Amino acid sequence: YRKALYNSFLGGIDMRKKILLTMMLLTVCAIGTNSIFATENVEKNEIEVYEISLKKFDHNKVCEWLLEKEPQECNIISQKNGSLIIESEESSVYVNEGTIEYKKDDMTSDIETLCFYYILPGLIDINEFVNADSVEMVDDSEDERIKNQIEHICEFKENETLQLIRSCKLSKETLVEVSEKLKQYGEENIDTSAWNAEEYTGLEYEILKDGIPVMGSEEPTQGYYLDIQQAIPAYVRVLMGDGKLIGVSIQEMFEEKSVYSTPILSSEEALGILQKEDEEIISDKTGEIEEIKLEYVMIPDWTTEISKPIELRPYWCIIKNVEEDGEQYITADRINAITGGDLSYGE
């Protein structure tokens, strides 16, 4: 109801006034904790900033968890970059700082592509193939079991957890239909003849630190105005066939080195900063703010060309629905929740 009223109220207003009214409405809505426009998910005047490094995994635990073998039963190959490839007779897993990539067999990649690059992001309308109510029927106990396994292997602290953000559970028959449709579009040419599970489940998680989400892969991308290393999303993806793990992708998992507390800007202050930036830009783009939320972003050392993250820094993420040349897309601005700087400029 609020959103319908909001869109109706703003309809027909010129863009400059529309931006100002949007900011006014968002500021009012931010006061309510149940607002669909703003989520001020911090209830204190200070926030923690973390010095971090990429997680160094215990490859013995990884071997036992994913390959279900003792380390001495596996072939461990060291790479020049310090990564490991751990092989059993049936499968292999790649382990590096911050990264675990496991695929039970060659077919896993194709199923991951369908689930995580087409179906879950909505690039293909799954309603053409199956009732929408059956797409996200992942059992809570199943979700909890996977979370516990990953949090154990990543050695999470008490203030860290995973949160399921999207999932799908689909039959082999449905996924075959999807792959055939993509083949017609000329997008993918997937061989489904050797798929041996009757049901496949894809789960994607975001990482929470102090209850605040860390920027993940499902969020709108961030544009940059400088030639600098971009902030990299952190996420966990899991693929199961008939309830058994067949694929795991852990990306940019970090570990805390030190922490300090600092005062934080409010969401209203962040919106005011963005309003001033928008007023200074002459553009044919029109847009409406859909959501504002507090999140952590993994920041690299911008004085070097090394992309490894060194800090977990809070930003107000302002998500916008933009229209340009008749095309609509979702984008985001991230305002530093400490300094008010714009992530697009490496601030």
**Confidence at 328, pLDDT banded by 50, 70, 90:** confident
Under 8 Å between Cβ of 326 and 284: no
Q: Whose structure tokens read 């899991």? A: 238
Under 8 Å between Cβ of 186 and 153: no
CB neighbours of 179 closer than 8 A, spacing ≥ 6? 110, 114, 188, 190, 192
- 198, pLDDT greater than 50: yes
Residue 210 corresponds to which tokens in the numbers above? 């102090």
Percent helix, strand, coil in the chain, to 5, is 30, 35, 35
Under 8 Å between Cβ of 258 and 51: yes
pLDDT of residue 42: 52
List, in sequence order, every beta strand (DSSP E) within the chain: 38-39, 46-54, 75-78, 84-87, 92-96, 99-103, 160-171, 199-209, 212-213, 235-241, 244-251, 254-263, 286-300, 309-324, 327-336
Q: Which of 90, 62, 64, 87 is nearest to 76 (CA)?
A: 87
The pLDDT tens digits for 230-246 are 788 999 999 999 999 99
Number of CB atoms found within 10 A of residue 173's CB: 13
- 93, pLDDT greater than 80: yes
Under 8 Å between Cβ of 238 and 85: no
- 18, pLDDT greater than 50: no
pLDDT of residue 132: 55
The burial class, CB within 10 Å (0-12 / 13-18 / 19+), for 157 is exposed
The pLDDT tens digits for 101-159 are 999 988 899 999 999 988 888 877 777 776 654 455 677 888 999 999 999 999 999 99
CB neighbours of 100 closer than 8 A, spacing ≥ 6? 57, 62, 66, 93, 94, 153, 248, 249, 250, 253
Number of CB atoms found within 10 A of residue 130's CB: 17
DSSP character for 248? Answer: E
Number of CB atoms found within 10 A of residue 148's CB: 12
